[in-house]
Structures are given as C-alpha cells and as structure tokens.
Amino acid sequence: MSPVKRALFIGHVWPEPRSSAAGARSMDLIQALQAWGWQVTVSSAAQLSPHRADLSALGIDELEIRLNCDSFNAQLAKLQPQLVIFDRFLSEEQFSWRVEEVCPEALRVLDTQDLHSLREARQQAIKRGGEPELHSELAQRELAAIWRSDLSLIISDYEMSLLQQHYGVSASLLHYYPLLSEGRQPASDFDGRKHCLCIGNYRHAPNWDALQYLRRDIWPALRKRLPEAECHVYGAYPPPKAMQLHNDKLGFLIKGWAPDARAVMRDAKLCLAPLRFGAGQKGKLLEAMECGTPSVTSAVGAEGMGNSETWGGYLADTPEAFVDACVALYRDATAWQQAQQRGDALLKRFDRQSHLRQLRERLSTLSVERDAGRKANFIGAMLRHHSLRSHRYMSQWIAAKNRFPAAE
C-alpha cells in the first residue's frame, strides 16, 4: 500500500468559489490535489464566512487555526503534511516559520493569487498621480515570501515577467498557473440577450473603485445613447453605501449577491469592467468569455489574458472610449459575434487539463529536487534565517502576551 500523501492548505480566508476568482482558484487547486491522491486539509485563521465552500461534503478536512499561537505547531506535528500551500504571502509570513520548524521536509508552495504589492502600487498611483512605486515595503515583504518558498504559483504572464526581469527572481522558483477554463459553455445568441452586467466581490478595492467610476463617469453618458439598456450590478459583500448608487430612473440596478454568477452572465449582452487598477487575472472576464458574453474593460483588466487584438470585446481606458465601445458592441450583431469568437480563441490559453498536468509534473519534479533547489536558493535561505526569526520571536512574544494578559 502506498503511503498517505497529506497536503495542508493554509487559507488567508476560507475558500468562497461563488464569491471571488481567488476562491474559485483555491478550490480548483484543492480539488486537483485531491484528485491526484492527496489527503487535503484546509485551514484558516479567518472567521467562518457565509458563502464558504462546503468542504466536508467534498471529503476535505477542515482545521481552524490561530494566529501567533503554539497550538498550530501541535496541529502540524499531528498532521505531518508533505506539502503545505500558503494562500497569499500574508499566510506565508505568519505560518511558514512554524512549518519549517515542525515539518522541515514538507514542500512549501506559495499561491500569490496576484501580486498584492503591484495592485497596491497602482491604487496609490491613481490617488496621487504618477507612476506606481514598485519598491515599497509591501513589495519587499511579498518578494521575500516568494524567495523563501520552494515554489510560487503566479497567475499571469505579466507578473511572471515582472518578477524575473524587474525583481530578478529565479525562474526555478516560479510556476505559471493561471485561472483555468473548460472552454465556452452553451449560451444565448445576440438577439436572445439584453442589458449590461457588472459583477465582482466588493470587498476587493479594484472592484469597488470600478463600480463607482462606472456609475459616476460612464453610465450616465452610456444610458443616453442606449436608453433601453440597464446595468445590473451583482457582487458579494456590497458595502451599505453601494445601495446609494442604485437608480431606477437611470437603469443602474444594484442586485446584490448572485448565487449563480454564470446564469446572470449568460443572459447579459455585455460585461462591463472599467478597472482603473488591479493585478493578476480577472475571473469575471474569463467567465464572460466562457459564457459567450463580450466584455469592455481596461488594459489593466485584460492584463495577463489578452490585448486589444485578441480580446473578446474591446479595451478602453477613458470614459468616452468606454462608452463608444459599449455602444458598438450593443448595437452591432456582427461586431458582437466577432468579439465572442475572439473570446473563444483566447480561452484555449487557459485550458484546465493542460495547466493541471503541467502543475502536477512540476510538483512531482520539485519533490525529487527539493534539497538541491533549497541549496541553490541562497537568498531564500538567508531570508529564512533572518526574517523568519524575527517573525518567530514577534509571534512568540504575542503568544506569551496573550497567555499572561496584564492585570486590569
């Protein structure tokens, strides 16, 4: 009998595949490991959320863990995973030193989801003007987590290039693993659709900014040119102030959470995503192509997926250009169908089976070459020696402080 292979997934939050692309990506990875024969345990220090996946129904163990607490060491010692996946660099910062201490032979894999520091730099550039600052403290922390890990999963080819060419990260530490697609699904044609759709998790700053930008700078002009069209806004966790954007007269309708995002996407004539900043890959735009729904987005929105020539819709970076693009697609059946066909072709880049096969092969190779890889990664070893000790001592200090609270 083959020995049991145990994998531990440490989530920044509990996976919510129906709320965000990050949640869907996490579940894809977890279920792939399960299909490859791993016994998977999913853990998180976050609060249990209402839209989280029902992991127990899928035969996946759940483990609630605590920050800055030695109880995690005991949980690790009992589980003895051979593979640990950190969901975003913050999880790696908090827990990797404990994994190295208790299970030094376990492979440590970081799923960045997107480069948080790139997203933050672009957000600050929007606020202040000028170019994004790529050498921030956040970038240093995120890059340190990448160097410390045996392998990092990178969601976009743009970020793969940025990490290697701008930051000098070795290709041996990186693996391109985008959002996955099974290709186009059956859907209505041009005449069977109406209205525009805007969808996203509104705890995510780029989505909330895009919604306000759409309502303030784009939709009033677009509504004048398409008076019959409505904009249906869906998304998890809309802030209370989102309801203030609802306007029946303008046809700007806040619908709230969509239990089945694909169902509402298949009915829409256009998907609108006027993102002004962000990073990674945009799950809603991949989903739009899968549903045969042309989209209008920005260059940032299409980054890591396509360009103006290959996009399943149009790219526009000013309100005026965005309105023109929407009108062209909404009115012209031929332009709409051509955009749909470009989306069909683009989906082939993200073929699920192809990327899963490549990831499985990379993990298999990594398990054999683990020691040689760590020896070659001197920068990572140095960062673990210095940075992780500081994380460890700070965490131990907090744990001790929590055990012996000051008398009131």
The separation between CA 96 and the C-alpha centre of its own chain, rounded to angstroms, equals: 21
| pLDDT, averaged across the chain | 94
Mean pLDDT value of segment 38-50: 94
Mean pLDDT value of segment 185-211: 93
State both tokens at 306: 């396509």
- pLDDT: which is higher, 90 or 385: 90
pLDDT score at 116: 97
Is the separation of the CB atoms in 115 and 162 below 8 Å? yes
For the domain spanning 190-350, the CATH number is 3.40.50.2000
pLDDT score at 51: 85
Q: Which residue has the tokens 């030695």?
A: 70
Quick: pLDDT tens for 364-395: 999 999 999 999 999 999 998 876 667 677 77
Q: Which one-letter DSSP state was computed for residue 163?
A: I
Name the burial class of residue 344, with classes exposed (0-12), middle (13-18) and buried (19+) by CB atoms within 10 angstroms of its CB: middle
pLDDT score at 37: 96
pLDDT score at 326: 98
Quick: pLDDT tens for 96-127: 999 999 999 999 999 999 999 999 999 999 99
Domain 5-180+352-403 grouped into CATH 1.10.630.10 = no
Q: Is the pLDDT of residue 313 over 90?
A: yes
Mean pLDDT value of segment 29-39: 97
Distant-in-sequence, close-in-space partners of 1: CB < 8 Å, separation ≥ 6: none
pLDDT score at 164: 98
Cα–Cα distance between 180 and 320 in angstroms, integer? 33
pLDDT score at 408: 44
Name the burial class of residue 73, with classes exposed (0-12), middle (13-18) and buried (19+) by CB atoms within 10 angstroms of its CB: middle
Is the separation of the CB atoms in 321 and 328 below 8 Å? no
pLDDT band at residue 286 using 50, 70 and 90 as cut-offs: very high
Cα–Cα distance between 334 and 328 in angstroms, integer? 10
Which stretch of 15-19, 136-140, 388-392 has the lowest confidence by average pLDDT? Answer: 388-392
The CATH 3.40.50.2000 domain(s) of the chain lie at 5-180+352-403, 190-350
Quick: pLDDT tens for 216-271: 999 999 999 999 999 999 988 888 888 899 999 999 999 988 889 999 999 999 99
What is the Cα Rg of the chain in Å?
22
